[in-house]
Amino acid sequence: MSRHVVVTGASSGIGAACARAFAAHGDRLSLGARRRDRLTGLVEGACIAPLDVTSPTSIERFLAAATAAHGPIDVLVNNAGLARGVEKIAEGTGEAWREMLETNVIGLLEVTRRVLPTMMAQGRGHIVVIGSIAGHKAYPGGGVYCGSKRALQPICEAIRMETLGHGIRVTSVDPGMVETEFSVVRFRGDAERAAKVYQGTRPLQAADVAECVLFATTRPAHVNLDTIVVMPTDQASPHHVHRATT
């Protein structure tokens, strides 16, 4: 049966890959991102609309457009998120911290809280959260980003407890190094610096993560995959990455 799948932050990277994966599966898509122009043509027949998860008004308009186009939401993929800079705690100014926390944590909560009541009423639904290995292991210069991703773990656990008996599934997909625009955003457009993050190694691709998301959401209704940690073979932790010397 065709499902209505909503993907936030769908304009690039993992979000765009998830959109393509669900479309190939035959699902109906509603795609939101701040860069609406990049959603055009991504998936044929998708409802596309601007979405800034830090703005309650933007969230409400997006979800209204999505439900008007495709009906109640069956799967919500909370993908919108970012890392900004590599400030150590003692050197931070707070601006980047607020941006990450408001997007990665508050934004996710604001979208999810508006979707859950209808899912609970219809007795089914799946909340997917794109987390990170950074939520499991911290690293210098990433304390606040790591904290924002770690916060998602108890949030997912609480949702599972609070919706128990309503047929709601909750899955956190936590990837390691993925070659997307993530590092370009972190380094504020410095493409050369971003490229060095992946130099000499074999990172995951966005499609690898999307495949995990699709797998989790296509299990039988009585099966819930709580957490999927997916890493490149060349990465053992945020600190341990194998890089070819030649």
Q: Which domains occur in the chain, in start order?
A: 4-230 (3.40.50.720)
Query: Which residues, including other chains, have CB under 8 Å from residue 65's CB and lie 6 or more apart?
Result: 30, 47, 49
pLDDT in tens, 144-186: 999 999 999 999 999 999 999 999 999 999 999 999 876 666 7
Catalytic positions are: 145
CB 113 within 8 A of CB 54: no
pLDDT of residue 245: 79
Distance CA(221)–CA(236), nearest Å, equals 32
Burial (CB < 10 A; 0-12, 13-18, 19+), residue 184, is middle
pLDDT of residue 239: 84
% of the chain exceeding 70 in pLDDT: 97
pLDDT of residue 182: 67
pTM over 0.85: yes
CB 70 within 8 A of CB 123: no
Query: Which residues, including other chains, have CB under 8 Å from residue 243's CB and lie 6 or more apart?
Result: 199, 200, 201, 234
Nearest to 2 by CA among 29, 41, 40, 32: 29
pLDDT of residue 246: 62
pLDDT of residue 189: 74
Q: What is the DSSP letter of 112?
A: H
CB 177 within 8 A of CB 10: no
Distance CA(124)–CA(77), nearest Å, equals 15
Burial (CB < 10 A; 0-12, 13-18, 19+), residue 218, is middle
HSE, side-chain direction, 13 A CA sphere, residue 74: 14
CB 173 within 8 A of CB 127: no
Tell me phi and psi for residue 206, to 5 degrees: -55, -35
CB 116 within 8 A of CB 168: yes
Residues of the chain with pLDDT under 50: none
Amino acid of residue 63: L
